[in-house]
Amino acid sequence: MHFSSEDTPKSFKDLPKEEQEKLKSVLFLADKFCISDAAYHELTLTSGGENLPRGYLIRQCKENLNQLCHITRTPGAAEGAQLIFKEELTNRIKSQVNIFQTI
């Protein structure tokens, strides 16, 4: 994988869509194989690691995706996660109102 590092913006949101998609792909692989931020940092320091996206961009991408919804653990001993319906409904209504206000 080659990631262009020339004139790299300091923010995930400032990147072109193509670069953002590359970062999301790297983040997906890191999450799938349980690669921590510290381990990813070490990978960027190895030979060939200069072609990987910087760790701070990966962290910003993760934060950006985490803002889409709030996930909490299920109560009790059951394994899993849950979305809080009231919060999700409120967020969806707010986003729809914002869309209609911009039209």
pLDDT at 28: 94
CA nearest to 59, candidates 88, 45, 38, 81 = 38
What percent of the chain lies above the pLDDT cut of 70?
Answer: 91
12 — pLDDT class (breaks 50, 70, 90):
confident
Residues 41/55, Cβ–Cβ less than 8 Å: yes
Strand partners, 72: 82
Here the tokens at position 55 are 């760790």
> How do the domains of the chain map onto residue ranges?
1-68, 70-103
Examine the pLDDT at 4 and tell me if it is beyond 80. no
d(CA 23, CA 29) in angstroms, rounded, equals: 10
pLDDT at 68: 80
Average per-residue pLDDT for the chain:
85
d(CA 27, CA 55) in angstroms, rounded, equals: 10
Least-confidence region, from 13-17, 74-78, 89-93 = 74-78
pLDDT tens, position by position, 44-76: 999 888 888 889 999 999 998 888 877 778 888
